[in-house]
Amino acid sequence: MLIKTSSDIPSSQITSESIYFNRRTFIKGSALTIGALTPKLSMAEQATTVALDYKPAAKEQESGFYTDEPLTPLDDVINYSNFYEFGTDKSDPARYADNMTTDPWSIKIEGEVDKPGEYHLEDILAKVDLEERIYRLRCVEAWSMVVPWVGFSLADLLKQFNPTSKAKYVQFETLHRPKEMRGQQSRFSTIDWPYQEGLRIDEAMHPLTIMAVGLYGKTLPNANGAPIRLVVPWKYGFKSIKSIVKIRLLEKQPTTTWQTLAPHEYGFYANVNPDVDHPRWSQKSERRLPTTFFSPNRMLTTPFNGYAEQVASLYTGMDLSKYY
């Protein structure tokens, strides 16, 4: 096989598919090719992003784990991002997140568990099998992407710490390190850091809910929440909290960043729902990235972001316009 170096490939030809399908080749072993097909990564990200060993996503897998919709190119996944710790512009995370130190990394497990403690990421990862999930990600701002994540089920992680019978909710917290996260320094920032999110325990234990450690076959770029983040594909993107350092099991529903900031606009549940508009815009349709002025790529939004078959039963009897 002819291995092209980054400079041989015009960026217009670097489609998601070329990166994605060549991935299997470089995972097999040649160190030379690692990173060769991802020239759009910054130098720092090329240096820190490494190939992962995982089970690829396949149609035959459990329903919802895979979609054959076109993947959003890696370049867009990295450069069009919300990670307010680094600024509010979509390009700020790619520009500034390289400053975040992700090694060593540990996660504190607190609250209603038999085995609370601080666990090193390596020790957590040693106990799980990585697999790929190709999911739609729908931001509350009405844009969306299709991302090939690499991760493991959150249920497998939580079971390692034996949640007690009082554990009804799970709260997550992002790193708080203003020295490395310029958005946390701003005196004008309205967010009360650290960023916090939460799930009901049955949502957390659902097989679609994963902790992602990679995308496109390699470790997560910092902009996308390295080294470990949550992905809940049937909920608006803000639920999928990045760069997690704390997981707390609780009896009561936790507070979450966006709900605290604007409770009439962002709810605790935040299930993707085309029938419940955001107070300031419609949620009936979405822009699927990549988009251009001439090709806006607009499509209808589907209930639970297309995962209704898998998750609608979690909300039987609930008024979803009240519990938005």
Ligand X SMILES: Nc1nc2c(c(=O)[nH]1)N[C@H]1C(S)=C(S)[C@@H](COP(=O)(O)O)O[C@H]1N2
- Stretches 38-46, 81-89, 127-135, 162-170: which one binds ligand X (CB under 6 A)? 81-89
Q: Which two tokens stand for residue 87?
A: 């600024």
Place of tokens 């090939």: 148
Neighbours of 8 (CB within 10 A): 11
In the complex, minimum distance from the CB of residue 231 to ligand X, in angstroms, rounded to a whole number: 8
Measured from the CB atom, the residue of 40 and 235 that comes closer to Mo ion is 235
Closest CA to 73 of 16, 2, 143: 16
CA distances from 28 to 23, 24, 33, 147, 238 (A): 9, 6, 10, 22, 35
150 within 8 A of 77, measured Cβ to Cβ: no
Measured from the CB atom, the residue of 84 and 119 that comes closer to ligand X is 84
Burial label, 5 (beta-carbon count in 10 A; 0-12, 13-18, 19+): exposed
In the complex, minimum distance from the CB of residue 172 to ligand X, in angstroms, rounded to a whole number: 9
In the complex, minimum distance from the CB of residue 142 to ligand X, in angstroms, rounded to a whole number: 11
- Stretches 9-17, 80-88, 99-107, 262-270: which one binds Mo ion (CB under 5 A)? 80-88
Measured from the CB atom, the residue of 163 and 225 that comes closer to ligand X is 225
Measured from the CB atom, the residue of 173 and 286 that comes closer to Mo ion is 286
In the complex, minimum distance from the CB of residue 195 to ligand X, in angstroms, rounded to a whole number: 4
- By CB under 6 A, name the one of 45, 75, 85, 132 that touches ligand X: 85
Residue 209, interface with ligand X (CB under 6 A)?
Answer: no
- Residues 126-165: x where in contact with ligand X by CB under 6 A, - otherwise, as a string: -----------x-x--------------------------
Measured from the CB atom, the residue of 48 and 243 that comes closer to ligand X is 243
- As a whole number of angstroms, the distance between CA 51 and CA 105 comes to 18
Dmax (CA) of the chain: 58
223 within 8 A of 94, measured Cβ to Cβ: yes
Q: How many contiguous H segments (helices) and E segments (strands) does the chain have?
A: 9, 12
- Stretches 45-53, 79-87, 104-112, 248-256: which one binds ligand X (CB under 6 A)? 79-87
- As a whole number of angstroms, the distance between CA 125 and CA 103 comes to 14
- Stretches 34-42, 101-109, 110-118, 237-245: which one binds ligand X (CB under 6 A)? 237-245
Q: Which of residues 16-45 bind Mo ion (CB under 5 A)?
A: none
Neighbours of 263 (CB within 10 A): 11
In the complex, minimum distance from the CB of residue 239 to Mo ion, in angstroms, rounded to a whole number: 9
19 within 8 A of 37, measured Cβ to Cβ: yes
- Residues 118-157: x where in contact with Mo ion by CB under 5 A, - otherwise, as a string: ---------------------x------------------
- Residues 213-232: x where in contact with ligand X by CB under 6 A, - otherwise, as a string: -----------xx-------
Residue type, 174: T
- By CB under 6 A, name the one of 54, 65, 193, 238 that touches ligand X: 238
Torsion-angle region of residue 306: left (phi > 0), alpha (psi -120 to 50) or beta?
A: left
Measured from the CB atom, the residue of 195 and 268 that comes closer to ligand X is 195
Q: Which two tokens stand for residue 276?
A: 């419940």
Closest CA to 74 of 35, 32, 106: 35
In the complex, minimum distance from the CB of residue 281 to Mo ion, in angstroms, rounded to a whole number: 13
- Strand, coil or helix: 108: strand
The residues binding Mo ion (CB under 5 A) are 82, 139, 237-238
Binding site for ligand X (CB under 6 A): 81-85, 137, 139, 174, 195, 224-225, 237-238, 240-243
